[in-house]
């Protein structure tokens, strides 16, 4: 479509300064289905300049005005819900039902949670004769990934709007169409010109330029730890704030008293959701050693129910991986698991039978995985579960925390005192007890190399605000 070749800058769809096209591939077919333009430094400069001009007015908008704007954004988002879901299915390979029920839905939920918490958010606080004021930080650069695009776009854009910031969004060039639709949502919702801007392109040509730009006051990045360190390095010269949500290698500890059948089956879901392409996926299942073999049997049975297939095919549970590069990486790590001596319980190398075209992988379970194995340490980002036996709770906690990451952890058991004890020992930003429902008013972010800062609802607002103390203000 023609608008896919334009950027959204200063309230209008504009041509790139220099023409450069990037193919967008349908991972279910491996075929190009559209093209976008790739931006460069000149495009970033235009977008940042527009955001800087808009900041002067938007930063002084009232809470009531911004609340009404957020509500308008949600209303238009709901109107475009199916278009967004269709885009996610096509460009990501998300099964169409999952695209509706999770990928498009999650953006809706973030708008709703932000609106709910914004209504009671305090931008000022009196401490004696001092007035503490929370003010918008300025122009924000937002870099979002392909795996949960609307999740990350909305949980950055919504708090930026709520706090009075202006922004430039660089979505993933691998799955950019949903973001272009989102820009249409922003336009129709009445977001003032220059407040929201979008420039497509690659990390080196757009993302790094945005991070280094002297007129960008804050960077919010979601993606790999490798790319996150590049953004932080580029941002360091101008001492701007950098918030990062990066990789993960989450442990799922099953305690002695657990309902094993239910916990393992739900654990497959927590690992394989979005074809395993989730930074907080429960990829390491720790089970008491004497329950290991039974856990493996259940896991294999459940994994074999995860039917791979094209995004729009009836009955598909697991869509394809997003790209050839991602497929190659997952194959390399499955081979590493075999080479390291883990037991391949099901799945393995190659594509599932009957799926020669598309970036499809076999649902894979490894048993007898030992700490230090490649598949136990590296983020795989595919439907690959490692089952690790443990002797004693202290060993389980030690194994779970022995990772450079700290995004999420999972604990399953009936004795809630023990479950909560284990949760308290987890070095992770989110701990999920007995597979709870989603909570979009919770905080989300990681310890260690999983990043810094927090997202979701009012937690995200803090990262988009500066704090000013006005002393002698009065009693």
| 403 vs 409: CA distance, rounded Å | 12
Cβ of 84: how many Cβ atoms within 10 Å?
26
| 397 vs 391: CA distance, rounded Å | 11
**Distance, C-alpha 421 to centroid of its chain:** 28
User: What tens digit of pLDDT does each residue of 17-54 get?
Assistant: 998 999 999 999 999 999 999 999 999 999 999 999 99
Say whether both 346 and 460 belong to one domain: no
Residue 475 lies in a domain: no
Catalytic residue (one of 91, 279, 302, 376): 279
CB 408 within 8 A of CB 430: yes
Name the band, by pLDDT with cuts 50, 70 and 90, for residue 474: confident
User: What tens digit of pLDDT does each residue of 66-99 get?
Assistant: 999 999 999 999 999 999 999 999 999 999 999 9
Picking from 165, 216, 243, 195, the residue whose alpha carbon sits closest to that of residue 44 is 216
Residues present in the chain in total: 475
Residue 215 sits in a domain of what CATH number? 3.40.605.10
Residue 320 sits in a domain of what CATH number? 3.40.309.10
Name the band, by pLDDT with cuts 50, 70 and 90, for residue 475: low
User: What tens digit of pLDDT does each residue of 214-238 get?
Assistant: 999 999 999 999 999 999 999 999 9
Phi, psi angle pair for 71, to nearest 5°: -65, -35
What pLDDT, on the 0 to 100 scale, is given for residue 428?
A: 98
Residue 226 lies in a domain: yes
Catalytic residue (one of 173, 234, 245, 376): 245
Mean pLDDT computed over every residue of the chain: 97
| 101 vs 99: CA distance, rounded Å | 6
Say whether both 397 and 462 belong to one domain: no
For residue 422, the enclosing domain spans: 251-440
| 299 vs 269: CA distance, rounded Å | 10
Say whether both 157 and 73 belong to one domain: yes
User: What tens digit of pLDDT does each residue of 93-144 get?
Assistant: 999 999 999 999 999 999 999 999 999 999 999 999 999 999 999 999 999 9
Residue 8 lies in a domain: yes
Cβ of 68: how many Cβ atoms within 10 Å?
13
User: What tens digit of pLDDT does each residue of 152-203 get?
Assistant: 999 999 999 999 999 999 999 999 999 999 999 999 999 999 999 999 999 9
Say whether both 459 and 376 belong to one domain: no
Say whether both 338 and 216 belong to one domain: no
Say whether both 349 and 297 belong to one domain: yes
- Is there a catalytic annotation at residue 271? no
Residue 393 lies in a domain: yes
CB 33 within 8 A of CB 24: yes
Say whether both 314 and 181 belong to one domain: no
- Is there a catalytic annotation at residue 88? no
Provide the number of structural domains found in the chain.
Answer: 2
- How much is the pTM? 0.97
């Amino acid at each position: 479509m023609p608008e896919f070749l334009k950027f959204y800058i200063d309230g209008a769809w504009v041509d790139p300064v220099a023409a450069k096209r990037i193919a967008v591939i349908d991972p279910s077919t491996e075929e190009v289905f559209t093209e976008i333009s790739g931006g460069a430094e000149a495009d970033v400069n235009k977008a940042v300049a527009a955001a800087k001009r808009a900041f002067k007015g938007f930063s002084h908008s009232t809470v009531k005005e911004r609340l009404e704007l957020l509500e308008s954004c949600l209303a238009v988002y709901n109107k475009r819900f199916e278009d967004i879901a269709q885009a996610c299915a096509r460009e990501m390979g998300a099964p169409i039902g999952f695209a509706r029920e999770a990928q498009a839905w999650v953006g809706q939920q973030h708008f709703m949670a932000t609106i709910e918490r914004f209504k009671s958010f305090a931008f000022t606080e009196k401490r004696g004769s001092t007035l503490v004021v929370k003010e918008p930080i300025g122009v924000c650069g937002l870099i979002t990934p392909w795996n949960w695009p609307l999740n990350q776009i909305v949980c950055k854009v919504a708090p930026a709007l709520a706090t009075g910031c202006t922004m430039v969004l660089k979505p993933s060039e691998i799955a950019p169409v949903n973001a272009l639709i989102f820009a249409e949502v922003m336009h129709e919702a009445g977001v003032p010109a220059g407040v929201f801007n979008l420039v497509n392109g690659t990390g080196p040509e757009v993302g790094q330029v945005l991070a280094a730009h002297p007129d960008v006051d804050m960077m919010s990045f979601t993606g790999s730890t490798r790319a996150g360190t590049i953004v932080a390095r580029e941002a360091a010269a101008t001492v701007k704030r950098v918030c990062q949500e990066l990789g993960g290698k989450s442990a799922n500890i099953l305690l002695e008293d657990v309902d094993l059948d239910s916990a393992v089956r739900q654990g497959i879901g927590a690992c394989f959701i979005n074809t395993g392409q989730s930074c907080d996926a429960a990829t390491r299942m720790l089970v008491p050693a004497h329950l290991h073999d039974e856990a493996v049997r259940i896991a294999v049975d459940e994994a074999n129910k995860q039917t791979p297939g094209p995004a729009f095919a009836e009955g598909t549970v697991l869509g394809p991986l997003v790209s050839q590069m991602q497929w190659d990486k997952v194959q390399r790590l499955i081979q590493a698991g075999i080479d390291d001596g883990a037991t391949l319980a099901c799945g393995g190398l190659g594509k599932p039978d009957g799926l020669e075209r598309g970036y499809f992988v076999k649902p894979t379970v490894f048993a007898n995985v030992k700490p230090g194995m490649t598949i136990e340490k590296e983020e795989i980002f595919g439907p690959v579960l490692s089952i690790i036996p443990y002797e004693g709770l202290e060993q389980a906690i030690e194994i779970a925390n022995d990772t450079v990451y700290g995004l999420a952890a999972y604990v399953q058991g009936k004795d809630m005192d023990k479950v909560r004890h284990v949760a308290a020992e987890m070095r992770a930003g989110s701990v999920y007890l007995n597979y709870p429902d989603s909570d979009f008013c919770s905080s989300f972010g990681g310890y260690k190399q999983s990043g810094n800062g927090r997202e979701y609802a009012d937690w995200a607002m803090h990262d988009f605000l500066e704090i000013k103390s006005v002393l002698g203000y009065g009693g």
